[in-house]
A and B are shown apart, each in its own frame.
Chain A
Amino acid sequence: AQKVTQAQTEISVVEKEDVTLDCVYETRDTTYYLFWYKQPPSGELVFLIRRNSFDEQNEISGRYSWNFQKSTSSFNFTITASQVVDSAVYFCALSEASITGGGNKLTFGTGTQLKVEL
Chain B
Amino acid sequence: GAVVSQHPSWVICKSGTSVKIECRSLDFQATTMFWYRQFPKQSLMLMATSNEGSKATYEQGVEKDKFLINHASLTLSTLTVTSAHPEDSSFYICSARMGASWEQYFGPGTRLTVT
Contacts and interface: CB of A to CB of B under 8 A. Distances in A.
Contacts of A101: 100, 102
- Chain A interface size range: 20 to 34
B102 A33 contact: yes
A91 B111 contact: no
- Chain B interface size range: 20 to 34
Interface stretch (A12-20, A67-75, A77-85, A107-115): A107-115
Given A43-B109, A43-B111, A106-B34, A91 B103 contact: no
Nearest to B93: A45
10 contacts: A43-B111, A44-B106, A44-B107, A44-B108, A52-B102, A95-B102, A101-B102, A102-B102, A105-B49, A106-B34
Given A33-B102, A50-B102, A101-B100, 13 more contacts: A43-B93, A43-B111, A44-B108, A44-B109, A47-B103, A98-B100, A100-B100, A101-B102, A102-B100, A102-B101, A102-B102, A103-B97, A108-B43
Interface of A: 33, 37, 42-45, 47, 50, 52, 91, 95, 97-98, 100-103, 105-111, 113
